[in-house]
Amino acid sequence: MAVKYPAIGIRPTIDGRRRGVRESLELQTMGMAQRVADFLQENLRYPDGSPVECVIADSTIGGVSEASAARSKFSGANVGVSITVTPCWCYGSETMDMDAAIPHAVWGFNGTERPGAVYLAAVLSAYAQKGIPAFGIYGEDVQDSGSEEIPADVQAKLLRFAKSALAAAIMKSRSYLSMGSVSMGIAGSIVNDQFFQEYLGMRNEYIDMSEFVRRFEEEIYDPEEFARALKWTKENCQIGPDNNPAHLQVSEEEKEKQWETCVKMALIGRDLMIGNPVLAELGFEEEAQGHNAIAAGFQGQRQWTDHFPNGDFMETILNSSFDWNGKRAPYILATENDSLNGVTMLFNYLLTNTAQIFADVRTYWSPAAVKRVTGYELEGAAANGLLHLINSGSAALDGTGQQSLEGKPAIKPFWDITDEEVAASLKETFFRPASQEYFRGGGFSTDYLTKGGMPVTMARLNLVKGLGPVLQLVEGYTAELPGEVHRQLDERTDPTWPTTWFAPILTGTGSFKSVYDVMNNWGANHGAISYGHIGADLITLASILRIPVSMHNVDESQIFRPRVWSLFGTDSLEDADYRACRNFGPLYH
């Protein structure tokens, strides 16, 4: 199903006084808007790889009538983000965009000839007074009035705001699809529809896992694609050693049947999320529609996995940036239907357009413990200790780290991935017969080791009674251990599962005094791991959604929130964030 992505609306506001003032500013003001539009379209892409669309108001906006005309144009053009630009004084409450349901930013040109900064302060005050938080963008250095440059600091803020605001806009009116219900009592899989509706503007959709069985038995999937997918899987997915004791191992014939089921699950899971027109041709018009899901979760354990092959292959391949159809955008599918980790994966994905690693935050390994068990002394980024991130059987294949940027391991948007990198990711992955003690119905767990040296951010959304959602995040690096050291540590858990060794960046304060403190303050058993240090973008997105951030190691100079946040205090930004989010409430309440 084709997705119509929201556009960014650019609003050039101007001093409304005629007979010389407005006329002298028309070209400069409209030129500013065009340059911002060009800059964003050149530097931002939607999840499908297409350039972000910018819509500019038909005229400069000098008063309420032109503001209303711009709003009408934006409504018809699917605008979900508003950026106002001006080099001069304008009439604040008369020219501002009053749509409280979309994110707003204002760039006031820092020049001495006209008071763009004065308008910026005035209109941000109006936004605060009217309860519509807006981001203020003001360059540090004075520019000449004729300058057509967008300064570097202004560029950074435009990109940070636009990326985060688009993420919020793209989620709106989409669905989270719960495949099954609560997995093993994990609170994140108790799907909270109020949170999705009020904070994200999303719907909740639900199916029982018996829907998979119905589609197996009634053959509600594309048979041609199934044959092609099964062939690709057998040719490209290496079977790893069976770690089960002899009395629990299944026959090769049974493994063949399990592979067929696992591939069908992947097809069906995708079709449930986004639909498939081929199903309509087969006579299944209703099923062809899908659930308009931008993210989903599969319960699996235990009601499914005690009898059927697990969801590991489905989760792995859908979360990856490629499959039997070639390179494509990943689907966001949470293990154990942990909707809160699924949402965090979605945040990360929409900010980066890259596949996400879902993982248990399983073990803190101190330097002393590693040395006691293996005799090895941790060094480099890992010198202060490690977190063992290891999901119970699935993780996006991009997480192998076999893609590269400037010669270093990376995870890239699908349109930048080469065929060689796809092949390398598959080569470094084994699909191991699932642990029969955990997964009585069998299946195949994804087994790989993430390359070290990648900058990554681990994040997690939590719900707290009486407080609501809270985001926490930590930037750090993937680490690489000597092969034998990794083996010894890995075999203390389940060596058939994918491992990422994570070394958080420490600041010496709060939750980042030590790696132990990071682990000890983590709010749940899961985390979403994204390539890149994207903490500042996550903080901006959280402020748009009115979700406070309880834990982060982002430098204060990089934090960008609506200007009104400073009116809640500037000494402790964390305290001010909590107060501002509580004061304004959810974006869609």
Annotated catalytic sites, by residue? 336, 360
Query: How many CA atoms lie within 13 Å of 160's alpha carbon, on the beta-carbon side?
Result: 25
431, exposed or middle or buried, with CB in 10 Å at 0-12, 13-18, 19+?
Answer: buried
Helix (H) or strand (E) holding 152: helix 152-171
Distance CA 248, CA 442 (A): 10
Distance CA 9, CA 81 (A): 6
Residue 447 per-residue DSSP state: E
553 in Cβ contact with 507 (< 8 Å) = yes
Assign 257 to helix, strand or coil.
helix
- Per residue, the 3-state secondary structure of 521-546, as one string, reads CCCCCEEEEEECCCHHHHHHHHHHHC
Bridge partners of 104, per DSSP, are 82, 134
Question: In this structure, how many other beta carbons lie within 10 angstroms of the beta carbon of residue 344?
Answer: 32
Distance CA 311, CA 324 (A): 18
Q: What's the token pair of residue 418?
A: 């080469």
Q: Give pairs for 71-78: CB < 8 Å, separation 24+.
A: 71/97, 71/98, 71/99, 74/7, 74/9, 77/7, 77/9, 78/4, 78/5, 78/6, 78/7
